Structure 1
């Protein structure tokens, strides 16, 4: 991917094991805080894994068929795997608005704008973290997850979007603790989108995302956990 003078944009084409990515992300977060390292937007996929946020409840892990890793981010259980594009966003909010809720709102807006490029209308839902759309049966379903952690005003973790994952893998958990809604993907909605196409569209909206970080968070913001 292209880079600018301030932020490194890194797009992986092979799956990165979750524990390795978490270690790298943690080290980069510290380097940004302590050494002034470049900020990073890191786009990748993981082999199948369930990750547990700080609010994960034991009874929401229904079938631990894959490795389960404690993530350190906010939220509950989330699935990551092939066909799901993940964006780890490591930014120094001391260079922008020191507003965690505003950061999450901007992340959501970035994903929503990018989905629109592929003809998918999506939205925030009051009281339900994540990115939502209409599934093939007309019911609301989750197409993207948001989960962040902020250490001394430097962000880590970020978002995931379902391009074409195996949706049956989500049945091993209660995704993000929400039982009454399903999970969908661009492929299920009839949209064939490669990782390369998604990354390019995301980059096209990057300036809008960065500009939004300096704006106040609307009062309808729902929180910071996936």
Structure 2
């Protein structure tokens, strides 16, 4: 079986929630927790893909160390949250497209390695639209272009239902990454698509991410309001 072949038929529904403007991190986190809880109670509920942007915020994975922070926790003015995903510290900000898939992997493959590679494949296909070669690095998670990490991935899976997801640097101010060691990797610089495609916009990439996600996971994305979830 092709590792990246869709598992589902194209008729499988997945609700697409696209927000306008910036969504506070804690608000989106609460959405995810609620969606996961609902699907634990009723596994037949549709999967969901949330695409959004956050105001500036730092997050630490559940086992992350604070040694990768370059600012004083006791005196910081920066928003910081420790959350239940895997991985080290990362940064979200405007100009970065964040994707939170809420998927029941029992309907796909009960394989976390497969799931991570699928998320990477989504990003790689999006980059190809802009004639950029997205690459993987053995032993690490994420996607790089010309040695610069443009997409970070961190997930949490409970009863095979996923939360958290990926962050793709489209056209952000990268200065915020200077205050951390992103993902705990000191020798790999962070980059953005705008460094290679200067006129790129979030809205363009948002559409391409939705298309690639539907292809990779073999789903039909159905635009949905929050009240329909």
Give the TM interval when normalised to the shorter protein.
0.7 to 0.9
**1:191: how far off?**
3.5
User: Would you say the 8 A contact 2:171–2:202 is kept in 1?
Assistant: no
Correspondence for 2:50? 42
**TM-score scaled by length of structure 1:** 0.86
**Is the counterpart of residue 87 in structure 1 residue 114 in structure 2?**
no
**Is the counterpart of residue 202 in structure 1 residue 202 in structure 2?**
no
What CA distance in whole angstroms lies between the structure 1 residues aligned with 2:50 and 2:200? 19
Point out which structure has higher relative CO (alpha carbons under 8 A, 6+ apart): 2
Aligned to 1:205, the other structure's residue is in SS state: helix
Comparing 46-55 with 185-194, greater Cα deviation is found at: 185-194
Correspondence for 2:21? 14
- Given candidates 190, 193, 196, the residue that maps to 2:200 is 193
Aligned to 1:182, the other structure's residue is in SS state: coil
**1:132: how far off?**
0.7
User: Would you say the 8 A contact 1:51–1:71 is kept in 2?
Assistant: yes
What CA distance in whole angstroms lies between the structure 2 residues aligned with 1:76 and 1:132? 17
Q: How many residues align?
A: 204
Q: 1:108 to 1:188 in 2, by over 3 A?
A: same
What CA distance in whole angstroms lies between the structure 1 residues aligned with 2:66 and 2:213? 37
Report 1:1-226 matches (<5 A).
6-35=13-42, 36-63=44-71, 64-134=76-146, 140-211=147-218
**1:112: how far off?**
0.6
**1:203: how far off?**
2.2
**1:40: how far off?**
0.4
Unmatched 5+ stretches in structure 1: 135-139, 213-226
**1:5: how far off?**
5.9
Comparing 7-16 with 202-211, greater Cα deviation is found at: 202-211
| Per-residue deviation, residues 85-130 of structure 1 (Å, max 9, x unmatched) | 0000110011121111101110100111111101211111012221
What CA distance in whole angstroms lies between the structure 2 residues aligned with 1:125 and 1:65? 34
